[in-house]
Structure 1
Amino acid sequence: MYAIVKAGGHQEKVAVGDTVTVDRIDAAVGATVSFPAVLLVDGASVTSDPKLLSGVKVTGEVLEETKGPKIDILRYKNKTGHRRRQGFRAKQTLVKITAINGAK
């Protein structure tokens, strides 16, 4: 059984025992977090009805806070001597999926 969940503006495919990296969640390490399900696949049955999915709860445990890869932003304008360098590194949370409940 696996589910597609909405996590931080993205959709992730998760199963019990998977470790997923999502955008930063404001929760302490070891805390339990819940994600809304968008799709649920259990063997041959596929559930995508929002009424049925409102009862499905995907829970996970926060493992650690991490940082994503460094992104270099370089801006350059020709013949003017204008250059600008900027960096960005997204904050992320590592979550281990512990249960998918309400699957019926």
Structure 2
Amino acid sequence: MYAVIETGGKQHKVSEGEVLKVDKLSAEPGAEVVFDKVMMVKTDGETAKIGVPYVEHASVKAEVVEQGKHKKIIVFKYKRKKNYQRKQGHRQEYTAVRITSIAA
């Protein structure tokens, strides 16, 4: 059984027991989070519910594992022959969640 959910403007394919990193959510570690924007649910080998755009009465429950930051990326801008260089770093914040149940 798996589902496709939308969070933070991105779509994620999730299954029970999976740990995934999503954009930062305002929840403490150990708290339960419910994703109600479920775009598709596949229950068994052949049955799938596809939403337009979301599946009605479907939800995915998850437990917050940790809050953290990704690795730093370097943003470097450069124009040749003009003596123009800019260097900037960025670390995106994330929330790691463990999927506990999928309800269709």
Q: TM-score, normalised by structure 1?
A: 0.90
- Structure 1, residues 19-60: CA drift from partner, whole Å, max 9, x if none? 011010011111111112100001110101349822011010
For 1:12, the aligned partner's letter is H
Runs of 4+ in 1 over 2 A off after TM superposition: 49-52
Task: Indicate whether 1:61 and 2:68 are aligned.
Answer: no
SS of corresponding position for 1:53: coil
Structure 2: distance between partners of 1:100 and 1:13: 12
Superposed CA RMSD in Å reads 1.6
2:39 equivalent in structure 1: 38
CA 45–9 in structure 1, closer or farther in 2 if over 3 Å, else same: same
Residue pairs, 1:1-104, within 5 angstroms: 1-35=1-35, 36-43=37-44, 44-50=46-52, 53-101=55-103, 103=104
**1-side partners of 2:98 and 2:62: how far apart?**
5
**Percent identity between the aligned chains?**
35
**Which runs of 5 or more residues in structure 2 are unaligned?**
none
Alpha-carbon distance, 1:80 to partner: 2.2
Q: 1:69: how far off?
A: 2.1
In 1: Cα distance, 2:19 partner to 2:29 partner: 14
